[in-house]
Structure 1
Amino acid sequence: MSPRTAAGALLGRTARLRWVHLVLGGALLMPFWLVGSLVVLPLAGGGETLLSGSVSGQFGAYALALPLAALAGLFPLVRPLSVAMARALCGVDGVRFAEGPARGPAARRRTAAWFTLHVGVGGLLSGAMLALPPFAVAVMLLPVPGVREFLRVPASLDRTWVYLLGPLAGLAMLLALAACATAAGALLARYAPVLLGPTPADRLAAAEARAAELAVRNRLARELHDAVGHALSAVTLQASAARRVLDRDPAFVREALTAIEDTTRRTVGELDAVLGLLREGDEAALAPAPTLAEDLSGLLARTRATGTPVDAAVETDIASLPALVSREAYRIVQEGLANSLRHAASSPIALRITEAADTVEIVMENALSEAAAPRPGGGNGLKGIADRARLLGGSCTAGPDGDRWRLTVRLPLTTGRAGSAGGAR
């Protein structure tokens, strides 16, 4: 190792930060050491004090302080404080540390072990950093006249060779202290991710939080796709139909423009709600979708305003459907209509909603054409419909049926399944 490399290892930025980490460990040990001193020094006798006690008394207080520090390390909040210091000062990649307070016995034990190691090693090195440098400097100044008398060097050491070796001995002491501090810092950096890293329980909690976040994001994606996608398809076709008959049928144009205004106003409100959730992270802020009873007629009217005939047969009392089933059924009908407009705009749409055996069935058909074939790369409309049906415990089938494209969705009306699906949302 070259002198420059050795100097970098002992005095470089990483080494200096780890020294600071060790000093902080010594500072954290002080309260426990003071408590240990109050117990040990009176037992030692001889009128010893905190500052003038014997070496054995000082180390006795240190030995008693370590178990006290281990007990303090069991508190959950010790881990985030320790992680913050280790992440900033130990030179270890921050992703290797656990986040949040220690939960569970295993995490608390590991945190207590780390805290004890940190304050124990830091206390020893901090004491050495306070005591050794002044002594080393004094040894280096032995050749200076008057220093020997001031330091009261014993006669047995009053030798010329001792004075000549003083500077070298003092420098060796300082280098040894720097090497010990560097080794101690490297030791803590090695064990920091081991003792402060995530436990299996932490990884499970992180996975569950990630799954919950993805579930919310998937729900937002479905809401945006169904609401905004349907609106854009409808508005595009409404504007196209109005343009084609602008000179011949002013009444239809007015109806189409009114439908465009209504569609965009409703969609802007839904878009604001979803974007508000993205900004604030509060799922309760997301306004629920309309139900079939609230807006099925409006949805059909806006679709017909595109110039596409829609033959709807509702053979059940949609007002009596459970709210969750009715909302999801509304989104399914909305997306089914949007798919028909997107892939087969000129084809009449047949919609039938029936109820039988505690199941509501939604069937939507339109003429099969090349436009109805799946797009390159596919889309998310049918997948979103299938997801909504699955979350309610239902089923979804879609595909060609002779010369027709048919979408069939069955949703159970049982309270138990509807309740569990509501929780899944």
Structure 2
Amino acid sequence: MTEFVRSLFGRRARRRWIHLILGGALAMPYVFVGQLVVGPATDSRYVFNDLPLQLLSFAVGLPLATLTAALFPLTRSLEAGAVRSLCGVDAGLLARGPARSRAAKGRAAAWFTLHLGFGGVIAGMSLAVPPFAAFLTALPLLVLFGGKQSVELPEPLEQTWVLALAPVAGVATLLALAGCAAVSGSLLARWAPALLGPTPEDRLAAAEARAADLAVRNRLARELHDSVGHALSAVTLQASAARRVLDSDPEFVREALAAIEDTTRRTVGELDAVLGVLRDGDAPGTAPAPTLAADLPGLLRRTRACGLRVTDTVGVDPDALPPVLSREAYRIVQEGLSNALKHAGDRTAVTLRIETADGHLVITVDNPVALTPSCRPGGGHGLRGVADRARLLGGTAEAGPAHGTWRLHVRLPMKGPA
């Protein structure tokens, strides 16, 4: 019994009832237009007072509602919002945004017509049935205290047993109204995903949007890993090396502290740039991204301050490289040196070669294979980022042991794909 009452008058049923009444309110302008057609066509001056003519006006107005929904794509967005809020339909089952394709517009128009059709009937019943039910419920009292002559009733209703059953009929009428509203609301809620749900084109657009968002997130993750991750690794090793020679080599300690200061200052600027992109999709006024042309000497100097012995051979003019290639090449070199610091340890000889071959910029980083690698759990994102950068530029990246050393070998086309 409780479930039955809840299905008729529960919170969900009431909200769906409101949704239907809103549909009836939206149907009123179309009914008025229908009256302008039905009145002259039937030679009737009082369409509003004639129920059959009112129903005919309603039937004439519904096709106009269908045409309106088909012509205005935003109808789907508005109706989907109302369905999510009032009908209890999961938002994931409904499309977002206006209808673009012909099929989507047709489905939205069908839904709008159903909403206004069911809503007009239920709204009309909601206006007419409660006063009638209240009259039936109070009828025995009116007859008891005012006499039968106080109420004009048809002769069959003047019988005593009919008057006694009038309140029951009134309550049954209200229950019938609630049942019609509940069934209509349930039907609309069941049909909503089919008519207001995403079309294949909508799903494709949503997948493309998710892919674009994922690409941006991956790019930000690479930038944070390569800038902040490299800086933290370098600062940790610089501080560790300085602590070990604090008493025996003060000059090296001063150089290490200066490198730590320089590294952190540059990293704060790069972090501001990345956070600017994360907040606004752009980073106006923030520090520019480091490039091979402008920042390679500083990167080598800070890396050597960690105790790493770097032998560099640059067989190309960095200033002649395209800006995008110069920026990505810097990040790749940075990651290669960072990996050497983390996995081979300080006081290790590293060879860096940057040269051109067959129209490609070739970057090679060689360092001894660590006997006890210090790779932290969850690592490996750096090499993945290098591979992503190379692939986006149309190049290749290889990393692994080669002849007793660990080699990072990257080839980037000097003129990459658009």
Q: CA deviation at 1:333?
A: 0.2
Deviations 1:18-50 (A, max 9, x none): 111111110111111111112212322242153
26-35 vs 367-376, greater mean Cα deviation: 367-376
199-208 vs 334-343, greater mean Cα deviation: 199-208
Alpha-carbon contact 1:276-1:285 (below 8 Å) kept: no
Q: CA deviation at 1:373?
A: 7.8
Alpha-carbon contact 2:342-2:375 (below 8 Å) kept: no
159-168 vs 310-319, greater mean Cα deviation: 159-168
Distance 1:201 1:285 in 2: 39
Distance 1:130 1:43 in 2: 28
Distance 1:195 1:338 in 2: 55
Q: CA deviation at 1:211?
A: 0.5
Could you say if the C-alpha distance between residues 376 and 7 of structure 1 is closer, same or farther in structure 2, counting changes exceeding 3 Å? closer
The amino acid across from 1:219 in the alignment is: R
Distance 1:361 1:96 in 2: 50
What's the counterpart of residue 106 of structure 2? 109
| Unaligned runs of at least 5 residues, structure 1 | 420-425
Equivalent position SS for 1:398: strand
Could you say if the C-alpha distance between residues 46 and 205 of structure 1 is closer, same or farther in structure 2, counting changes exceeding 3 Å? closer
What's the counterpart of residue 163 of structure 1? 163
Equivalent position SS for 1:246: coil
Distance 1:282 1:121 in 2: 49
Alpha-carbon contact 1:359-1:413 (below 8 Å) kept: yes
Deviations 1:169-203 (A, max 9, x none): 22222221111111111111111122111111111
What's the counterpart of residue 423 of structure 1? none
What TM-score, normalized to structure 1? Answer: 0.92
Matches within 5 A, 1:26-425: 26-50=24-48, 52=49, 54-74=50-70, 75-143=72-140, 144-145=142-143, 146=146, 149=149, 151-155=151-155, 157-282=157-282, 289-345=289-345, 346-372=347-373, 377-414=378-415, 417-419=416-418
Equivalent position SS for 2:364: strand
The amino acid across from 2:267 in the alignment is: T
The amino acid across from 2:107 in the alignment is: R
Q: CA deviation at 1:246?
A: 2.1
Could you say if the C-alpha distance between residues 210 and 361 of structure 1 is closer, same or farther in structure 2, counting changes exceeding 3 Å? same
What's the counterpart of residue 14 of structure 2? 16
Alpha-carbon contact 1:340-1:372 (below 8 Å) kept: no
Alpha-carbon contact 2:273-2:288 (below 8 Å) kept: no
Deviations 1:250-278 (A, max 9, x none): 22222211111111011011112222332
Deviations 1:32-70 (A, max 9, x none): 1111112212322242153x2x22221121011111111
Alpha-carbon contact 1:324-1:418 (below 8 Å) kept: no
Alpha-carbon contact 1:69-1:116 (below 8 Å) kept: yes
The amino acid across from 1:6 in the alignment is: F
Distance 2:279 2:385 in 1: 23
Number of residue equivalences: 413
Alpha-carbon contact 2:272-2:287 (below 8 Å) kept: no
Q: Give me the identity figure in percent.
A: 59
The amino acid across from 2:120 in the alignment is: G
The amino acid across from 1:327 in the alignment is: R
Distance 2:105 2:149 in 1: 55
Alpha-carbon contact 1:325-1:418 (below 8 Å) kept: no
What TM-score, normalized to structure 2? Answer: 0.93
Q: CA deviation at 1:300?
A: 0.6
The amino acid across from 1:30 in the alignment is: M
Could you say if the C-alpha distance between residues 56 and 261 of structure 1 is closer, same or farther in structure 2, counting changes exceeding 3 Å? same
Alpha-carbon contact 2:230-2:334 (below 8 Å) kept: yes
Distance 1:223 1:272 in 2: 11
What's the counterpart of residue 422 of structure 1? none
Distance 1:138 1:232 in 2: 82
| Unaligned runs of at least 5 residues, structure 2 | none
Q: CA deviation at 1:405?
A: 1.4
CA RMSD of aligned residues (A): 2.0
